[in-house]
Amino acid sequence: MPKNRTEEKKRFNVFTPVEKKDSKTFWLRVGTAFTNKDESINVYLDALPMNGKLQLREPSPATDERDDG
């Protein structure tokens, strides 16, 4: 059993890479993901990526501040 709630439910931000016309890549946040007790991951998408690519990243303190409002 996990020692604390942080280990029990780990949160991730879900991003998809978007190629711009100037050949640069923009990372668009498209959802959130959470770990389960059995270490599987549930992904909740707010948008579907056109390229079929997803990346899960642990939230940074700067990202957490933007999510609060």
Confidence band for 61, pLDDT divided at 50, 70 and 90: confident
pLDDT at position 7 is 55
pTM: 0.72
- In a domain, residue 60? The reply is yes
Is 56:41 a contact under the CB 8 Å cutoff? Answer: yes
Provide the edge-to-edge strand list for the sheet that holds 25-35: 41-45, 25-35, 11-19, 55-57
* Domain encompassing residue 45: 8-67
Listed range (7-11, 45-49, 64-68) with the worst mean pLDDT: 64-68
Q: How is residue 34 written in tokens?
A: 């959470």
**What total number of domains does the chain contain?**
1
- Determine the Cα–Cα distance for residues 64 and 69; give it in Å rounded to an integer: 10
pLDDT at 67 over 90: no
Asked whether residue 1 is domain-assigned, the answer is no
Residue 3 lies in a domain: no
Answer yes or no: is 27 within a domain.
yes
55 is a domain residue: yes
Any domain includes 2: no
49 part of a folded domain: yes
Average pLDDT over residues 44-51: 94
